[in-house]
Amino acid sequence: MRIFLSASVPKVGRGSFYENADPFLIQVAVRELVTTIVRHCTLVWGGHPSITPMIWAVCEDLGVRYAERVRLYQSLLFQADFPEENVQFDNVVHVPPVGHDVPASLAQMRHRMLTDTRFDAAVFIGGMEGIFAEHDLVCEHQPQAHRIILTAPGGAAQQLGEGCPKGNALVSSTVDFAELFDHLFPAPRHRM
């Protein structure tokens, strides 16, 4: 199973997303998602500097081999600002920039990230304007993927959840992220 994660901790000055965001709940939600799925699913995300260190820490805590369970996409436009944890991931997909154009470079990275692989689900947590762009790309290129939108951590995902036609989306306001993810992504049972 392949899971796409769209998440970030909103920054002050980037829209109003930070006003309702709870960085602690964003961190808990990301940690619970990774803890639940990383042993039996592949996690794919765009390397936001607020999320990559969280994912690396969980993988390190659980002793998970990164190359087997995670795939990180990065636009080379931001190479000078890559989190130091990036070097821990052997399977980073570097996407060439579009000149010095930030929006075009991010669009190119997102398009590649969401067309390289078929996803079973996409999870949206916290975030800023990128949440909307990635949600649109999931709907366009991955219509079979179940969309899970967490509204309790706030940010753009809360706004997305409030305005999202349900269809193939689960909009959840729970803060019991462990129970939610255990239910949605159960570990395979081993036969004896």
Tens of pLDDT, residues 29-46: 999 999 999 989 999 999
Q: What are the Cα distances from residue 89, in Å, to 43, 60, 93, 99, 116?
A: 12, 11, 10, 26, 18
How deeply is 108 buried, as exposed, middle or buried, from its count of CB atoms within 10 A (0-12, 13-18, 19+)? middle
Buried b (16+ CB within 10 A) or exposed e, 147-170: bbbbbbbbbbbbbbbeebeeeebb
* CATH hierarchy code of domain 2-184: 3.40.50.450
Mean pLDDT of 115-141: 95
How sure is the predictor about 66, in pLDDT bands with cuts at 50, 70 and 90? low
The pLDDT score that the predictor gives to residue 167 is: 67
Enumerate the domain spans of the chain. Answer: 2-184
pTM of the model: 0.92
Is the confidence at residue 67, as pLDDT, over 80?
A: no
Residue 79 in this model has a pLDDT that exceeds 80: no
pLDDT of residue 177: 97
With residues binned 3-state (H G I as helix, E B as strand, rest as coil), the percentages for the chain, rounded to 5, are 45, 20, 35
- pLDDT tens figures, 132-170: 999 999 999 999 999 999 999 999 999 999 987 666 689
**What confidence tier does 186 reach under pLDDT thresholds 50, 70, 90?**
very high
